[in-house]
């Protein structure tokens, strides 16, 4: 029996050193070397200051900016958890909430409610989705162009130049990172 206890203790110590120390350090070193930006949150710096992350949405509400998807957590990534509304597809509260998002977007962009893309009328599951669909960006072009006194064709060209293809070429849809797009807008000259 003493031999079994000794073997168990040695195994526990070896596994603790390997899986609790060596393995995490090796994985951290590989991540820092091969995937430095991703391992550190995909932060976007401007003039030496962190302005956001490519992975997290921000609440842009001014007419001169492209707006992200609605967020059920008020775009707060610092809370205990991100998340959606947890309302089911048959929920009247969810229909009212999504209808409000769609109406607000339609009013701001002077389009019919039926023309509002689904991603701008519904919050994402995490509440922090940084991307909108190509359609979601294009319906906002006229509002953003008018607010910035730019030609709509110029703003549309900027949107099209910031499109990201579906992951692996077939997962998801063509999308635009809202923070990247808004930073590019700020860099444009009238």
Contact assessment for residue 94 and residue 85, using Cβ atoms and an 8 Å cutoff? yes
Domain locations along the chain: 2-37, 43-187
The pTM of this model reads: 0.79
User: Using one digit for the tens of pLDDT, what is the confidence trace for 97-139?
Assistant: 888 889 999 999 999 999 999 999 888 777 788 999 999 999 9
Q: What is the pLDDT of residue 14?
A: 94
User: Using one digit for the tens of pLDDT, what is the confidence trace for 39-98?
Assistant: 887 888 888 888 888 888 888 999 999 999 998 777 777 766 677 777 777 888 888 888
Distances (CA, A) of 93 to 39, 83, 178, 189: 38, 17, 27, 43
Which residue from 136, 133, 139, 130 is spatially nearest to 71, judged by alpha carbons? 130
User: Using one digit for the tens of pLDDT, what is the confidence trace for 149-179?
Assistant: 999 999 999 999 999 999 888 988 899 999 9
């Amino acid at each position: 029996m003493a031999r079994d206890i000794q073997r168990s203790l040695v195994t526990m110590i070896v596994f603790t050193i390997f899986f609790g120390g060596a393995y995490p350090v090796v994985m951290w070193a590989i991540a820092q070397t091969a995937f430095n930006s991703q391992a550190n949150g995909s932060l976007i710096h401007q003039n030496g200051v962190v302005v956001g992350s490519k992975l997290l949405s921000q609440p842009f509400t001014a007419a001169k900016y492209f707006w992200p998807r609605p967020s059920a957590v008020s775009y707060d990534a610092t809370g205990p958890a991100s998340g959606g509304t947890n309302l089911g597809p048959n929920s009247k509260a969810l229909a009212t909430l999504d209808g409000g998002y769609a109406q607000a977007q339609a009013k701001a962009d002077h389009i019919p409610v039926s023309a509002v893309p689904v991603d701008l009328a519904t919050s994402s599951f995490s509440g922090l989705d940084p991307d909108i669909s190509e359609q979601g960006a294009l319906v906002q072009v006229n509002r953003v162009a008018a607010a910035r006194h730019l030609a709509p064709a110029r703003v549309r060209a900027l949107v099209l130049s910031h499109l990201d293809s579906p992951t692996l070429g077939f997962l998801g849809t063509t999308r635009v990172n809202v923070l990247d797009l808004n930073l590019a807008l700020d860099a444009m000259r009238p």
